[in-house]
Chain A
Amino acid sequence: MSDDYPSLLRSERMSLVQLFVPTEVAHDTVHELGELGDVQFKDLNPSVNPFQRSFVGEIRRIDDMSRRTRFFDAQIEKEKDVVPVRPLYECAPLLTVGPRSAQTVDELDTTLSQYESKLTTLNESYQTLSERTRELTEARHVLRETAVFFDKAHTQTSNIRSSFDDSATPLLTSHDDREGGYSAGSFDLEFVAGTIERSRVPTFERVLWRVLRGNLYMNHTDIAEPFIDPSTNAETRKNVFIIFAHGDVVLAKIRKVAESMGATIFPIDANADKRADALREVENRLEDLQTVLYNTGIGRRAELVKIGESLRVWQDVVKKEKLIYETLNLFNYDVRRKTLIAEAWVPTRDLTKIQLALRHATEESGTSVPPILHELQTSKTPPTFHRTNKFTEGFQAIMDSYGISAYQEINPGLFAITTFPFLFAVMFGDIGHGFIILIAAVYMILREKAMAKQDNGEIIGQFFYGRYIILMMGLFSIYTGFLYNDLFSKTLHLFHSGWTFPDNSTRGVYTGHTYPFGLDPAWHGATNALVFTNSYKMKMSIVLGVIHMTFALCLQVPNHFRFKRKSDIYTNFIPQMLFLQSIFGYLVLCILYKWSVDWTKSPVSPPSLLNMLITMFLEPGKVDPEKQLYPGQGFVQTVLLGIAGVCVPWLLISKPYLAWREMHKTTGAGYVTLGNGEETAIARHSTDETLEGEEEGNGRAIAEGDEEHEGHDFGDVVIHQIIHTIEFCLGCISHTASYLRLWALSLAHAQLSEVLWSMTLDGRTDPKSIGGWIGLGIMGFMWLNLTIGILCLMEGLSAFLHALRLHWVEGNSKHFEGGGYPFAPLSFAGEGSKEA
């Protein structure tokens, strides 16, 4: 059996199991299974609202706990000096299983709420203190600024008096100065002083101006340093203002406007001595406050440090607990509410492992009632689960992002491990560039452990995830680089060339010796190099493409066997294969044959294969003797065309005809369609007797509840087959042409690297002077950067995308069925790394 060892060829065989879990061990069981990460639970109460489920209370409590941990996290983040947070793997684990588990969670809950209230009170006192500090600071600023203002007014008194009656003075300034003069002289003008947010100053001024009809004198200055709100860390900038006006009503209005605009007003005395006293007092109090504030800050920080030591453990526990209770909510209670009933998909291979885990959970929790597990028979489609390792993971992900393959279908991800890097390398063939990406991949693989732990960011993380793909791509690129004999657009002379150029002539002479591996270096720099490589790569692309498609087509066969659709082999597979081979397989043979002939010795010139293919369709049976590739060509082509022509109706009609005959047979025998009734009956008989008894409760009702009804409508079959036929026949042509992208990209890559070389380093590699060396240095640096940036990264990504397309569209369309759904087991492992 192929199922003895896990393989990537098909997805894992899955079983639907039913678990009877006594309520006491439910929590620990789920915890254990979560650690195992191998069980996908089914929702047994899909019709029940989220808040009407059994464990809502617990979830709510845990939500509150997680809110608290979030609060701590936010507080720690906000702290200006970094508070050390001990990473999870360095902390002692907090055990939440076993007989004392409930108590542990309770304790954690109280710890968390204690810390929260402590922190909140600390925050509050810190806030009030800093609020008062702010007020005092503002008061100090107001006192200082007003003092400056009054001093200035004093010195100006004399010359203002002199200009009092001078009509030449502009109206506004004289007005202002006059008030200043009054205040400086006798201080009989009253004033309001305070602070206001800077952004509001213009509005404030405008409103006051309008409210008081201009009867005021206002002065304001900026406070240089911003005020920082300790709870939000938001900066506010403020201004000191002082407004002089006359009359109680007016002053009251000013105060009211100021207050409503969010200004703070300070009582300032007009007397300079009293102001000085006030300033001194404010400064004293400010000093005291700052000491207290500092101490509070230290206390708060100490608290945060203490929290930081175990915060990650708490977060981890809270996350796990939440997951556990959410899973428990998927379970069903039995009638006596003593046990929970769960249904789950598990890989059949791991059943014993899960049994062991269940036993372990029972032992841990200290009770003697073990959970009971048994397999259910079902006709439902199990989830698709490919067991990957770190090497195959990336390749599988590439294929899964196209579509999840159906349960037990041949998995294209397995073949992608070689075909994907190979097709990539055909487009990316260059020893040097391949070596660069190989180095990058090897570096990531060697530093695997360290890099997996740290957060790599989105871009590096992507590359890191695909490190094994990159490794393979690098290796294959080096290989195709040797085939193309291309090293950063230069060639390697590993063996003796098959061509000599006597007397500096541009015409090569064949030495009768064939270059053993890859492209002869003599082609490099030859005038017809491009013509030669183009013809070679184009034909190679077609050959590779047809081989790839033929292989993909063959992957249908095991699927047909597995899903017991043997008729599909001669209704689908054989006609498709014949169609493909009779046209494009023949083309490939012709290409190979043409390559094998030495046309210099042939009496006829080499015929164009493209024209040959076209005339094969347009004038079947007729071949111009001038353009004949081999004798008897016309007859062979007529036969092949005939085969291909027969395949189309064969493909179109045979499957619907079989379906029709089948239908005719059943109705003719007097049967009427009854959905899938027959199948379930068989399934039920095959389950053993004891199970039959157990299932009486919830299990069976659900297992039968939503059978997948696939009404095999005859019309559906016909339409599906018509679409399929058209898609395949047209697809064969367009897909073959699509493989020409291998040639195009490979050509573009080679040309680009040649252009880069000639524009930077060409002719500079042998410097004679110091200037030459500097030039070499600069150009070499540029060349290296552009090689990595454009040729490796950009060109690499483009080649990657094209390889992806060739797999998804050209390859998968030949056999892939898809439509499966991925296996999503309950697992703590994924949860932890996601947020931490």
Chain B
Amino acid sequence: MEALFFNIDNGFLEGIVRGYKSGILTQNQYANLTQCETLEDFRTQLSATDYGGFLANESLPLSTSTIQEKATQILVDQFNYLRGNAVEPLNKFLEYITYSYMIDNIILLITGTLHERDTHELLERCHPLGVFESMPALCVATTVEELYQSVLVETPLAPYFRDCLSANDLDDLNIEIIRNTVYKAYLEDFHSFCGTLGQPTQDVMQRTLAFEADRRTINITVNSFNTELSKEQRAKLFPTIGRLWPEGNNQLAKADDIDQVRAACETVSEYRTFFNDAGVSSSSAHGNGGIDDLAAASMLEDRFFRMEVFLNKQAFLQQFQYGVFFSYVKLKEQEIRNLTWIAECIAQDAKDRIQDFIPIF
């Protein structure tokens, strides 16, 4: 039935987003980009793609940040176009996508204020998708309570923050805890919202979100080794969705090293491969565990990104659902990360690592 009526409200936008998707850079174009000698070559090469002349009016010494900024601007424009044309419930769905950027922005501002950075510089670094009206006022707050009362209470994020009001002063650890608590609340809320949208959106989105939740769970676990974070606190930060929940989460909450994490993830076949090499390297050089865990974590991160790209690509195989909107934003974001990486490698003349991006199509 959903196929019968989907196009009345969303057919146009789905068409648009699928059109946008076909503009995502392909393997071939990446191969051309990685051959560039300078950023000007890079620009010439990009002008042959869907990006077109987006850098044509920049004066010559190009910087990586300009490229990133302009590419993000394209994504933001596209997203705003989609949002401007959307009706309920797609509108709400798109709004949910922005929440994650809002959380990131809030955390960025709080951290920045804590370290006494310049407010305007911080505001410039915020992701444009997550900007909200009263955001600049965040710089004033000094405690979580104040933060909530003065600014966040009127944002849609307010319910997510309600759980972490107990943390009294803002320090780095607390901010990290806030971020994860809020994100957990966000993911759970988004998950249940997708549940109300019916099949097949529910199906596609919950698969993607479950992975996102598991990724966070594993990341929190890996990053909390050798820190002050107690195991009970850690357990509280785990989202209560995802394929690892509940028994995997329980095991992860008790884990002490990366091997136990792997054991916890054994139950899910897709995640099993993530730890293959990582496990080997950590057991072979157990002496300097700290550094090795770091390497393993970064490799893990890379695989998570690959998995994310894979899942998001799969979302496009299913028609008449909202997952494509979410996936497009995520894929485009990954593409911008890739472009920035390649541009950075070109700028710093680090050709040996230029291949370390994550190809999409």
> What residues make up the interface of A, taking CB atoms closer than 8 Å to B?
49-52, 56, 60, 63-64, 67, 70-71, 200, 203, 206-207, 210-211, 253, 256-257, 259-262
Contact = CB atoms under 8 A, between A and B. Distances in A.
A260 B119 contact: yes
A60 B139 CA distance: 44
Size band of the interface chain B makes with A = 20 to 34
A294 B146 CA distance: 49
B343 to A, nearest CB: 15
A78 B167 CA distance: 53
B98 interface: no
A206 B123 CA distance: 20
Nearest to B42: A51
Contacts of B56: 63, 67
A58 to B, nearest CB: 13
A257 B32 CA distance: 48
Interface stretch (B10-18, B130-138, B193-201, B322-330): B130-138
A535 to B, nearest CB: 48
Nearest to B48: A50
Nearest to B138: A260
Interface stretch (B74-82, B150-158, B202-210): B150-158
Contacts of A210: 149-151, 153
Contacts of A259: 119
A67 B59 contact: yes
Contacts of B60: 64
Contact of B151 (A50, A51, A207): A207
The SS class assigned to the A binding surface is helix
A70 B57 CA distance: 8
Contacts of A262: 136
Given A64-B60, A203-B137, A207-B151, 15 more contacts: A49-B45, A56-B44, A67-B56, A67-B57, A200-B133, A210-B151, A211-B137, A211-B140, A211-B146, A256-B140, A257-B136, A259-B119, A260-B123, A260-B136, A260-B140
A776 B136 CA distance: 70
A392 to B, nearest CB: 36
A135 B85 CA distance: 39
Return the 8 tightest CB-CB contacts between A and B, nearest first: A260-B136, A51-B41, A207-B137, A211-B150, A210-B150, A203-B133, A260-B139, A260-B119
A70 B58 CA distance: 11
A56 B37 CA distance: 12
A51 B40 CA distance: 9
Q: Counting chain B CB atoms within 10 Å of each CB, which of A71, A200, A211 scores highest?
A: A211
Given A207-B151, A210-B150, A261 B137 contact: yes
Nearest to B149: A210
B146 to A, nearest CB: 8
Contacts of A211: 137, 140, 146, 150
B35 A49 contact: yes
B32 A49 contact: yes
B36 interface: yes
A259 B113 CA distance: 14
A206 B140 contact: no
Nearest to B31: A49
A412 to B, nearest CB: 36
Contacts of A203: 133-134, 137
Contact of A253 (B37, B123, B140, B153): B140
A206 B57 CA distance: 40
A211 B154 CA distance: 13
Nearest to A255: B140
Contacts of A261: 136-137
A203 B132 CA distance: 10
B46 to A, nearest CB: 11
A200 B131 CA distance: 14
